[in-house]
Chains A and B, each alone.
Chain A
Amino acid sequence: MKVLILGLGGAVARRVALGLRDQGHTVVGIDTRPWADAPEGIEVHTVDLRKRGAEDVFRTRRPDAVVHMATVTSLRVQGEERHRINLGGTRVVFEHCRAYGVKHALFVGRHTFYGAAPDSALYHTEDEPPKELASFPELADLVAADLYASTALWRTPELTTSVLRVCYTLGPSAQGTLATFLRGRRVPLVAGYDPLFQFMHEDDVASAILLALDKRPRGVFNVAGPQPLPLSVIVRQAERVPVPLPMAVLRQLVGRFGLPRLPRGALYHLQYPIVVDGHAFRAATGFTHRYDEVQTIQSFLEAHPAPPSHRAQLRQGLETLGVMKP
Chain B
Amino acid sequence: MSRSEVKTRLERLELPFNAYGVDPYGVSRWHLGVVYEALNFFYRHYFRVRCHGIEHVPARGRGMLVGNHSGGVAVDGMMVIASCFLEAQTPRLAQGMAEKFVNATPLASIWSSRCGQFPGLPENATRLLEEDRLLLVFPEGARGTAKLYPQRYDLVDFGTGFMRLALKTRTPIIPFGFLGGGAAIPTVANLYGLGRVLGMPYVPVTPYLLPLPLPVPLELHYSEPMVFEGTGNEEDSVIQGYVEQVKARIADIIDRRRNERWQAAVTP
Q: Collect the chain B residues with CB atoms within 8 Å of residue A293's CB.
A: 18-20
Residue contact B124 to A193, C-beta cutoff 8 Å = no
Looking at the assembled complex, report how far the CB atom of B112 sits from the nearest CB atom of chain A, in whole angstroms. Answer: 11
Q: Contact check: which of A119, A190, A229 meets B22 at CB < 8 Å?
A: A229
Q: For chain B residues 111-145, which have a beta carbon within 8 Å of chain A?
A: 113-114, 118-119, 121, 123-124, 127
Instruction: Kindly state the separation between the CA atoms of A193 and B110 in the bound complex, as whole angstroms.
Output: 5
Q: Contact check: which of B22, B25, B109, B114 meets A271 at CB < 8 Å?
A: B109
Q: Mark A173-201, 1 if CB is under 8 A from B, else 0.
A: 00000000000000000111110100000
Q: List 14 A-B contacts (CB under 8 A).
A: A118-B104, A119-B119, A121-B123, A121-B127, A123-B123, A125-B123, A192-B107, A192-B110, A193-B109, A227-B18, A229-B22, A233-B22, A271-B109, A294-B19
Name A191's closest neighbour in chain B (CB-CB).
B106
Name B122's closest neighbour in chain A (CB-CB).
A121
Q: Which 3 A-B pairs have the closest CB atoms?
A: A192-B106, A121-B123, A118-B104
Q: Mark A146-184, 1 if CB is under 8 A from B, else 0.
A: 000000000000000000000000000000000000000
Interface residues on B, range: 20 to 34
Q: Collect the chain B residues with CB atoms within 8 Å of residue A237's CB.
A: 20
Instruction: Kindly state the separation between the CA atoms of A123 and B18 in the bound complex, as whole angstroms.
Output: 18
Q: Collect the chain A residues with CB atoms within 8 Å of residue B105's CB.
A: 192
B residues in contact (CB < 8 Å) with A: 18-20, 22-26, 28, 100-101, 103-107, 109-110, 113-114, 118-119, 121, 123-124, 127
Query: How many A-B residue contacts, CB cutoff 8 Å?
Result: 70
A121-B123, A193-B106 known; 18 other A-B pairs, CB under 8 Å? A118-B103, A119-B121, A120-B121, A121-B127, A122-B123, A190-B106, A191-B106, A192-B106, A192-B107, A193-B109, A193-B110, A194-B113, A196-B25, A196-B113, A272-B103, A273-B26, A292-B19, A294-B20
Looking at the assembled complex, report how far the CB atom of B111 sits from the nearest CB atom of chain A, in whole angstroms. Answer: 10
Tally chain A residues at the interface, Cβ within 8 Å: 25
Residue contact B22 to A122, C-beta cutoff 8 Å = no
Q: Collect the chain B residues with CB atoms within 8 Å of residue A294's CB.
A: 18-20
Q: Collect the chain A residues with CB atoms within 8 Å of residue B100's CB.
A: 118-119
Residue contact A121 to B121, C-beta cutoff 8 Å = yes
Between A122, A191, A273, A292, the greatest number of chain B beta carbons within 10 A of the residue's beta carbon is seen for: A122
Q: Collect the chain A residues with CB atoms within 8 Å of residue B106's CB.
A: 190-193
Instruction: Kindly state the separation between the CA atoms of A293 and B28 in the bound complex, as whole angstroms.
Output: 15
Name A297's closest neighbour in chain B (CB-CB).
B20
Residue contact A122 to B25, C-beta cutoff 8 Å = yes
Between A118, A196, A233, the greatest number of chain B beta carbons within 10 A of the residue's beta carbon is seen for: A118
Q: Collect the chain A residues with CB atoms within 8 Å of residue B24's CB.
A: 227-228
Looking at the assembled complex, report how far the CB atom of B55 sits from the nearest CB atom of chain A, in whole angstroms. Answer: 31
Instruction: Kindly state the separation between the CA atoms of A273 and B123 in the bound complex, as whole angstroms.
Output: 15
Instruction: Kindly state the separation between the CA atoms of A38 and B127 in the bound complex, as whole angstroms.
Output: 46
Looking at the assembled complex, report how far the CB atom of A128 sits from the nearest CB atom of chain B, in whole angstroms. Answer: 9
Looking at the assembled complex, report how far the CB atom of A37 sits from the nearest CB atom of chain B, in whole angstroms. Answer: 37
Q: Mark A224-240, 1 if CB is under 8 A from B, else 0.
A: 00011110010001000
